[in-house]
Structure 1
Amino acid sequence: MNITSISINRPSLIIVLFSLFILLGYIGFTNLSYELMPDFNQPVLVIKTGYPGASPDEVQSSVSEKIEDALSNLEGIDYLVTKSMPNASVVIANMNYGVDLDQAMQDAQRYIDNISKDLPEDVLSPVMTKVSPNDLPIMSITSTSNLESKVFYQKMVDDFIPQIQQLKGVAEITVLGGEQREIQVKVDPEKLRYYQISLQQVVEAINRAGLDVPAGNVQTDQIQNAVRLSGKFSDLEEIEQVQVAMPVPGAPVYVRDLAVVKDGMKEITSVSRFNGKEGIGLLLKKQGDANAVDVSKAVRDKLSQIETQYESAGVSFVIADDSTDNTIAAVNAVVFDLVLAVILVALVMLLFLRSFRNSLIVLVAIPTSLVTAFAVMWLLGYTLNLMTLLAMSLIIGILVDDATVVLENIQRHLDMGKDKKSAAMDGRMEIGFSALSITLVDVVVFLPILFLQVFVADMLKQFSVVVITSTMTSLLVGFTLTPWMASRIGKAEDLSPTNAFNRFLIGFEHQLDRFIAWYGRQLTWVLNHKLAFTGIVILLFVITGVMMKQGIIGKELIATGDQGKFRLYLEYDKSTSVKENNLRTLQVEQFLLQQPEVSTLFSNVAGPTTGIGSLGVGLPYKSELTVQLLDKKEI
């Protein structure tokens, strides 16, 4: 007794099995995350180290070279690329393909920790990241208010951003622009010489006076109190009254004698604008395993709550760019094509098999073959993205093969006058080897992709897993579900022109017979003129090769498609300041905003860029403009 016989005579096992597949598929589908493209990590580690106030030469000698030396013994490393910039060092470690990046990150972190004591005291802790699509910001947000600029910036950093970062799936928020408050002590060099005091003495005096440290406990038999030396400044006058030195006994020198203390604004390192209006820009990244669509929705809800709460202050948030809009649109388009493909396949089956019953069996067989792919994707941690959905769209033509081959042969046995069960059993057994061959050919084509060790392996693996899973399930469906349904609802078809639809099917069959006869004549000519046809085939190969050599067909890693927006990267002379960069970029913005096709324009002047491979460090001579165009219908 084989699996087909069990399905036909004792269908309970098959019904339970496919019910379980459908249940797992439903659970998997409801838990799958949405992404535009699957996550594929380049074998690259990026180590960013901040060194405030340092020049590129100082960064190179004090930070970059030491980190390079520490990483030189890292296993699996191919080569290092170092960029020493003002205030920051970036070391890019390019690894060999096949290296475990997570393990490499742990080893690299251990090497860097070993040399951390050799780095300057002012150096910030190195931050290590992988180059991945998940490192790209999913949302660009701009915010404005009626509050004073310094107050609004502090409110943003101390209140608004922490609220957003608490949301599930939010990983990092980069702040662009804004005016940050800074207490400035402007020392007069002449007075330093007069009192014979160094600048370092002034700095150390202010730092000592500003300490806030615990000093132990005061304990009695009844009570116990903690003692804390609180030296935090509450106003400018307290800083002015800090004693710096006493060159002459009884004549102390205070900060007010040497400098002017003012409540000023920190030097601007980046500028953000939306449609020409300055504000505070936010670049939001999601966590690696988070659902981008859910994160976007949660962030939008939180921003609406903040706007309502601070309505009196005129706080407003505008979503300048949201990658999940394109993700949802792309996924919905592929899902629509997927459903349309299933329906069209059923209609084609109706025309060629001439039976509503057989079309119904095909309509059941295809989704049942696909549903297991959702369960496998969920178990393997995959997402619903263009690659997995594209695999499902393409696989429909393969899935219908098993069902059609088996079903057509069962129908032939029914037309021979056999009863349903005998026709289903004989039809499947007769064609079983052919169906198995069809399936295994598809599997062996895609199976080697799972063992690739190349840059896009992670992306292609998801495509291959979906194809292989769905194809193997379709073989199981063709050997079990299809014969069982045919044994229950199958029927011999003897078309007679009793109604309009039957007459249409008979007419279609006559046209099909004419086409087959024409094809037979062409095939006869080919068989009688083998040399001529061989020459035609060789000529086609030559033409194809020539066209490829001409470079007519371009090359790119991923076809992004037309999303109705583009990014413009501006790079000036390296000596350009942020202020000059801002003025020049503003002229470009004004020109773009005058164009009737431009809908919105988000400006990032001297801030970290958002493209893949971004180092996460802004440069004073670079700018990035994100331009959203109007829909063609709106022009």
Structure 2
Amino acid sequence: MKIAKWAVTKPISVLMVIAMILLLGAVSLVKLPMDLLPKMNIPIAVINTQYVGAGPYEIENLVTKPIEEAVAAVHNVKNIHSNSMEGTSIVTVELNQGTDMDLATLEIREKIDLIKGYLPEDATQPIVLKIDPNALPIMVFSVTGDHLEKLQEVVEYRIKPRLERLEGVASVGVTGGRQKVVTIKVDPMQLTMQGITQQQLGALIRGENINLPGGEIIEDTKSLTVRTVAEFQTIEEIKALPIPLPIGTTMKLEDLAEVTFQEEKITQIAKINGIPSIRIALQKQPTFNTIQVTNMLHEEVKKLQDELENIELVTVTDQSLFIRRSISNVAKTAAFGGLLAVLILYLFMKSLKNTLVIALSIPISIIATFTLMYFTGLTLNLLSLGGFALGIGMLVDNGIVVLENIYRFREEGYSAVEASIHGAQEVAMAVAASTLTTIAVFLPIVFVEGMTGEIFKELALTVTFSLLASLGVSLTLVPMLASKIVKSKPSSSYKIFDRIEEMFQKVNAFYSNLLKWSLSYRRLILSITIFIFLISMISIAWVGAEYFPEFDEGTFMIHITLPEGSSLKESEAMANKVEKILETYEDIEIIFTSIGGGDSYFGYQSRKTNRVSIDVRLKSFRERQEKTLYIIDKVRKDLGQIAGANITVSNLSFVGMGFGDEAVEVEIQGDSIEILREISQDFIEMIKKVEGTREVTSNFTEGRPQLELYINREIAVPYGLQTLQIANTIRNFVHGMIVTRFRVNGEEHDVVIQGKDYLREGTGNFMQLPVQTMTGEVLPLEHVTSYSISQGPNAIRRSNQVRSITIKAAIMDRDLNSIIRDIESQLKGYPLAAGYSYQFRGQKEALEEAYSSLALAVILAVLLVYMVLAIQFQSLLHPLIIMLSVPLAFSGGALGLLLRGIPLSVPAIIGVIVLSGIVVNNGIVLIDYINILRENKKETEEAILIAGTTRLRPIMMTTLTTILGLLPLALGVSEGSEVQMPLATTVIGGLVLSTPLTLIVLPVIYAILDDLGIGKFHHRQG
């Protein structure tokens, strides 16, 4: 290759190119956004439809089913799930990964438009939303201070506007405060006596509280704008409002009703560490980066904190915190791995100058990669940084080969310049082929489907970019520096180098004798190798399997559900009990409690007074004594002693957010809700018996008791009463109706008319509610209706247009696969009724999809490596011999996972794919040199012995640099290392076992094939 000659003869040009690369890389690094994981396209759309007043069964039949049938015809639909609740239908459409969600949502809207006419008239327009990971709050603040009402004003009018103005902030949600409302409580009996209805009273108040423009008039020569100003200024003005009565007199509003201006009824409470507070949740705009937005938020909050007295803003959750720590830790471990690799180089090279020549390829390659990452739209995340850590040990391999070959030419009498040119040119093709074999294994990851492919593409691209940059550096900078700086092969006077050399000579002698012995006992060597391979493959059964390791983010959430109909006061008392238990844990830093939350993430329309959620943040990874999972398990046991509520604890991690709340999900399908409930209760009891399961619950919840009114039309119709009129009367008196807004001190407050409290105190009082007929006659509600008290399901859930109930369970101290296996054996003999079935969802489903895709990727990787080798060797046989090191590497990877107690997971299989490209490099170096010696008329055994002992040093160097480069990641002692740990362990295990076996087994196989007369046709073309 002429590139080496250019580099040696044009050193200034090389230095300028390197300087340009470093400059661009530095700028790219500053501009590269940081995130925990790569940007993911979540192919899920949600259709939300409101039908006020309808129960779950009506919602299912009239709204949910037509929408499900319509969207089932959309292209690329994978699953359809629905939730029919009181007044709300939520249909979730999951599409295949890679679907263009903009086009998909457009098609979904088109399909819904076709059936809109069949939906109930009172149902709202179905809203189609894409699921966006940016919709989750990136930061949550808690604001504490004096009186909550005063605090509410500060948050609404000083803090919220300041945060909303910041670039990148999409929305600021405020909950937990107190707001005032003007309440006008009327007695329907008194209204009837005065001959006025609630609706008429509301219209009168609304008509008085108004400011309206009246046009213009001319006064002399001036034009005056006419404006009627009649809005209420004070609460006394509202109380004194004269109400005209049908009999021709007027009456003050305060004489007709109780008028109060006070805090509205509390439906939600927020507390931090037991102190009442207001919660501020912030969402970012999709195009902005989490770190950038949180940096601005922290700065603004600090300014606000300085400005506001007696008010404290506390960060409850901050997505950037774990991202920063994790990325910092991975970067540190990668840097430490790089230093270890350089140390090994120094010990083998015996010269600091020579070591630096090769070691320079690490920072230059990494900085060059930053530029490529920036222009290809990648981010700095755990996977891309993991790619750097993975590649660090390999970045020096090319430089080692080039420099060693340059020294060989120097020893043959060439000048420094000639040796640098010829030495680099001779191995250029071999180095390029070696790099291509490693890069080739990452190509199949492009074909991996689902979330797995989305996540690991960035790792593959990062490693590819860094290796290509390393190849460029080794063919330009290394020969250029070798011609200018390096004069001869060093012979150090330090004793440590002499001892290392002595040690290496002993190892070399031992290896030479072992190789001779192995060539004499070939069948025994093959038998031992096959035995090791079979044992390692069997060991996978003990390793276990899981989809993705959970991040130890130091946060978890407690969900408390009291019986339906429980009051806010009862929920608060239960929350206080839980908080007292949590306060005994030293590792817990912040406890944030929200009482009266929604039914689910999408059920925000109706607040539930019987629900409590508690966000718990632990101290940082290094400050606490135990991992989050073990703390969660202890908390579960302690909270299990509390009776009267269903309490669950879930780990807030990447797996939980992306692939289901719990590890185990069993979905039961059938037609009858009652039968499904019975089956689910039996399944729960059986799953509880499986060792390692925790919190086995179903998503079936009883609805709150409800008073169902039945209109007696034979009585109502003759009086001119319609169902709608009766229902509106009930709603207006019981729930209340907002008639206008009262503005005071720049703030607006609702003005609500509702019936007096006695109407809601007991069924007897409620049934006396007066209903006015068309003729003005008043009838008690009990005269035109009958009632019954019932309790049905809180929600009807369906999966792929069939009713379903899902059982969920967390796992502890066991891998997912073994627990699923035990659950399957438990459920196998259960007598399911005809038409009822069950299947595993969640992580089990994701695991099967990922493993099938990755299995194809492994096969493709092996085939691609073989093809690259065949091109390099111009032979079909010798690449096959080299490829035999791959199964040996797989054995080592499996044994590595077994010894570390790490389950087989998606990152571990990615490690297997990486191994396919790395381990063949040792075989290339060995077999290539054997062929060269054979061409020089050496006998087979002699060629094998010479090649083995000669290539032992470079093989040891490249293997040790890769292993030590990955060692800090494999130890997994810092935050964010959960993903890289299985990958690094697999690669290290594979190299540790395959390298010695490669040095023995491949020469033995080469000799056997030679004895059989296979391959003798091969002659290297040089």
**What's the TM-score, normalizing by structure 2?**
0.56
Please show how residues 22-33 of structure 1 align to structure 2 within 5 Å.
Answer: 22-33=22-33
CA offsets 1:8-53 (integer angstroms, 9 cap, x no match): 1124443333333222211110011222222213211234567889
Q: CA deviation at 1:315?
A: 1.4
Q: CA deviation at 1:112?
A: 7.1
CA distance 1:88–1:305, change in 2 (3 Å): farther
Say if 2:268 and 2:596, in contact at 8 Å, map to a contact too: yes
Q: CA deviation at 1:143?
A: 0.7
Which residue pairs with 2:280 in the alignment? 282
Residue of structure 1 aligned with 2:550, choices 548, 554, 559: 559
Q: CA deviation at 1:353?
A: 2.2
Say if 1:245 and 1:252, in contact at 8 Å, map to a contact too: yes
Say if 1:202 and 1:255, in contact at 8 Å, map to a contact too: no
Opposite residue 37 of structure 1, the aligned amino acid is L
Partner of 2:36, secondary structure, is coil
Partner of 1:17, secondary structure, is helix
Which residue pairs with 2:103 in the alignment? 103
Say if 1:201 and 1:244, in contact at 8 Å, map to a contact too: no
Q: CA deviation at 1:168?
A: 1.9
C-alpha distance in 2 between matches for 1:222 and 1:54: 62
Residue 259 of structure 2 corresponds to residue 261 of structure 1: yes
Please show how residues 238-387 of structure 1 align to structure 2 within 5 Å.
Answer: 238-240=237-239, 246-248=245-247, 250-252=248-250, 255-311=253-309, 314-387=310-383
Partner of 1:456, secondary structure, is helix
CA offsets 1:266-301 (integer angstroms, 9 cap, x no match): 333332211111111122222233232332232222
- The alignment-based identity, stated in percent, is 27
Say if 1:62 and 1:120, in contact at 8 Å, map to a contact too: no
CA distance 1:98–1:510, change in 2 (3 Å): same
CA offsets 1:41-74 (integer angstroms, 9 cap, x no match): 3211234567889876787688767765775564
Which residue pairs with 2:131 in the alignment? 130
CA distance 1:542–1:566, change in 2 (3 Å): farther
CA distance 1:606–1:414, change in 2 (3 Å): farther
Say if 1:320 and 1:600, in contact at 8 Å, map to a contact too: yes
Partner of 2:597, secondary structure, is coil
Residue 498 of structure 2 corresponds to residue 506 of structure 1: yes
Opposite residue 279 of structure 2, the aligned amino acid is G
Say if 2:2 and 2:425, in contact at 8 Å, map to a contact too: no
Comparing 65-74 and 32-41, the one that deviates more: 65-74
Count, aligned residues = 621
Q: CA deviation at 1:136?
A: 2.9
Which residue pairs with 2:139 in the alignment? 139
C-alpha distance in 2 between matches for 1:290 and 1:369: 28
CA offsets 1:600-635 (integer angstroms, 9 cap, x no match): 2122333369xxx94473654433322233466577
Partner of 1:469, secondary structure, is helix
Which residue pairs with 1:428 in the alignment? 424
CA distance 1:480–1:583, change in 2 (3 Å): same
CA offsets 1:88-116 (integer angstroms, 9 cap, x no match): 55432211222112333455567779999
CA distance 1:376–1:581, change in 2 (3 Å): farther
C-alpha distance in 2 between matches for 1:322 and 1:89: 32
CA offsets 1:209-261 (integer angstroms, 9 cap, x no match): 4455655555789555555555543333444455666423x234664454322
Partner of 1:475, secondary structure, is helix
Comparing 255-264 and 64-73, the one that deviates more: 64-73
Say if 1:354 and 1:493, in contact at 8 Å, map to a contact too: no
Say if 1:176 and 1:604, in contact at 8 Å, map to a contact too: no
Partner of 1:164, secondary structure, is helix
Larger of the two Rg values belongs to structure? 2
Say if 1:358 and 1:490, in contact at 8 Å, map to a contact too: yes
C-alpha distance in 2 between matches for 1:32 and 1:269: 44
Q: CA deviation at 1:424?
A: 0.9
Which residue pairs with 1:460 in the alignment? 456
CA distance 1:237–1:533, change in 2 (3 Å): farther
Opposite residue 80 of structure 1, the aligned amino acid is I
Opposite residue 181 of structure 2, the aligned amino acid is E
CA distance 1:142–1:200, change in 2 (3 Å): same
Comparing 29-38 and 106-115, the one that deviates more: 106-115
C-alpha distance in 2 between matches for 1:17 and 1:616: 58
Say if 2:338 and 2:393, in contact at 8 Å, map to a contact too: no
Say if 1:276 and 1:590, in contact at 8 Å, map to a contact too: no
Partner of 1:6, secondary structure, is helix
Residue of structure 1 aligned with 2:576, choices 586, 589, 593: 586
CA distance 1:33–1:212, change in 2 (3 Å): farther
For structure 2, the residue ranges without an aligned partner over 5 or more in a row are 626-1022
Say if 1:40 and 1:456, in contact at 8 Å, map to a contact too: no
CA offsets 1:473-499 (integer angstroms, 9 cap, x no match): 2122222222112121122125163xx
CA distance 1:342–1:302, change in 2 (3 Å): same
Opposite residue 595 of structure 2, the aligned amino acid is V
Q: CA deviation at 1:571?
A: 3.3
Q: CA deviation at 1:379?
A: 2.0
Residue of structure 1 aligned with 2:558, choices 545, 556, 568: 568
Q: CA deviation at 1:141?
A: 1.3
**What's the TM-score, normalizing by structure 1?**
0.87
Residue 95 of structure 2 corresponds to residue 92 of structure 1: no
CA distance 1:47–1:484, change in 2 (3 Å): farther
Opposite residue 201 of structure 1, the aligned amino acid is Q
Which residue pairs with 1:192 in the alignment? 191
Residue of structure 2 aligned with 1:482, choices 474, 478, 481: 478
Say if 2:351 and 2:490, in contact at 8 Å, map to a contact too: no
Say if 2:388 and 2:463, in contact at 8 Å, map to a contact too: yes
For structure 1, the residue ranges without an aligned partner over 5 or more in a row are none
CA distance 1:436–1:496, change in 2 (3 Å): closer
Which residue pairs with 2:650 in the alignment? none
Please show how residues 13-52 of structure 1 align to structure 2 within 5 Å.
Answer: 13-47=13-47
Partner of 1:168, secondary structure, is coil
Partner of 1:247, secondary structure, is coil
C-alpha distance in 2 between matches for 1:351 and 1:524: 28
Comparing 62-71 and 256-265, the one that deviates more: 62-71
Which residue pairs with 1:601 in the alignment? 591
Which residue pairs with 1:521 in the alignment? 513
C-alpha distance in 2 between matches for 1:285 and 1:15: 46
Say if 2:350 and 2:490, in contact at 8 Å, map to a contact too: no
C-alpha distance in 2 between matches for 1:472 and 1:463: 14
Partner of 2:504, secondary structure, is helix
Opposite residue 405 of structure 1, the aligned amino acid is V
CA distance 1:58–1:4, change in 2 (3 Å): same
Opposite residue 557 of structure 1, the aligned amino acid is F
Say if 2:350 and 2:492, in contact at 8 Å, map to a contact too: no
Q: CA deviation at 1:415?
A: 3.2
Comparing 397-406 and 232-241, the one that deviates more: 232-241
CA distance 1:109–1:69, change in 2 (3 Å): same
Opposite residue 464 of structure 1, the aligned amino acid is A
Opposite residue 546 of structure 2, the aligned amino acid is K
